[in-house]
């Protein structure tokens, strides 16, 4: 009888080519030296018959709005584009996809103007324990794993018939409804779900060759984890390299006018490219110093 019930649930979940959207509250501590500073982000896990996508709701909404505005400008006045993005359009910029039935997993991350699709070569190896607990409205069971440089404790529920979960986690006999690392720095807890028409992040806006915007457009490069580590270290050492190269590339084009502007913390506007690059490098290195506690340390260290 139980198998029939699960089969019915699967049919109802996938009927009409819809997406099953699960809402997770993601709590994390970006700076290991300041454990009182706990950030929160609403993350979405969208599951359909082909796979799943895990991403920030706020960033998806902000990026969708920015893309719509940019596409409008590209159509009406391609030679005069203004980008005015929110200061913090969602704090979590990464996105994870899994392809069924083999759960081929990719992590999507930006470095400056470059986009990377990082293939995952390891599967979470779980130890299922007898401990049981009520997580929200679901009866859940405990499991542990070592992944990405952290020790994780997960709670999964067979009441939700998906062997999936937030971030890169999957492979348990039910949906992961809560997962937390041993240090308490990162936790993801299911807080709701609903069925929606398919509406997951789609294709990037195609920008003209002479335009590059940090975090938008650009060529997507598929890399291994080792290749990404190399690119990340190069960026950490020289954060403004891509922007300088873009300026040099377009510097000889008389039909291309590039304007660099940035405001300092005290409100002073900088327009000289060298000053802008110095300020950009200063800000980025300060931010990297404070964001020293990533969800997957093995990927960046």
Q: The pTM is what?
A: 0.77
Q: Is a pLDDT exceeding 90 seen at residue 207?
A: no
The mean pLDDT of 220-227, rounded to a whole number, is 92
**Residue 54 confidence class, pLDDT cut points 50, 70, 90:** very high
Residue range 142-160, pLDDT digits in tens: 999 999 999 999 999 999 9
**pLDDT digits 0-9 by tens, 58-100:** 887 765 555 555 555 556 655 554 545 444 566 898 999 999 9
Q: Which of 11-15, 161-165, 275-279 has the highest mean pLDDT?
A: 161-165
Is 70 exceeded by the pLDDT of residue 202? Answer: no
Count of C-beta atoms within a 10 Å radius of residue 165: 27
Lowest mean pLDDT among 16-20, 36-40, 264-268: 264-268
Q: pLDDT band for position 7 (50/70/90)?
A: very low
The domain over range 2-224 is classified in CATH as 3.30.70: no
User: Could you tell me the two tokens for 29?
Assistant: 């501590």
């Amino acid at each position: 009888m139980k198998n029939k019930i699960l089969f019915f649930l699967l049919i109802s979940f996938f009927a009409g080519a819809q997406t099953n959207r699960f809402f997770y509250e993601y709590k994390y501590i970006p700076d290991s030296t300041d454990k009182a500073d706990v950030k929160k982000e609403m993350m979405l896990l969208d599951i359909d018959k082909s796979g799943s996508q895990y991403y920030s709701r706020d960033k998806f909404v902000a990026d969708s709005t920015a893309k719509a505005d940019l596409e409008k400008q590209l159509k009406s006045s391609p030679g005069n584009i203004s980008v005015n993005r929110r200061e913090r359009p969602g704090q979590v910029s990464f996105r994870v996809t899994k392809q069924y039935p083999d759960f081929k997993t990719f992590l999507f991350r930006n470095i400056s103007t470059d986009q990377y699709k990082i293939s995952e070569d390891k599967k979470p190896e779980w130890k299922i324990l007898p401990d049981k607990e009520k997580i929200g409205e679901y009866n859940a069971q405990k499991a542990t794993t070592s992944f990405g440089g952290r020790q994780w404790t997960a709670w999964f529920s067979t009441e939700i018939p998906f062997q999936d979960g937030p971030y890169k986690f999957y492979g348990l006999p039910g949906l992961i409804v809560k997962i937390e690392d041993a240090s308490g720095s990162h936790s993801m807890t299911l807080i709701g779900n609903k069925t929606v028409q398919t509406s997951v992040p789609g294709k990037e806006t195609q920008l003209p060759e002479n335009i590059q915007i940090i975090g938008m457009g650009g060529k997507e490069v598929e890399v291994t984890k080792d290749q990404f580590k190399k690119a990340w270290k190069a960026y950490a050492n020289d954060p403004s390299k891509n922007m300088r190269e873009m300026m040099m590339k377009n510097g000889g084009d008389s039909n291309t006018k590039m304007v660099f502007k940035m405001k300092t913390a005290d409100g002073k506007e900088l327009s000289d490219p060298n000053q802008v690059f110095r300020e950009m490098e200063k800000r980025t290195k300060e931010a990297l110093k404070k964001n020293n506690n990533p969800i997957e340390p093995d990927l960046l260290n």
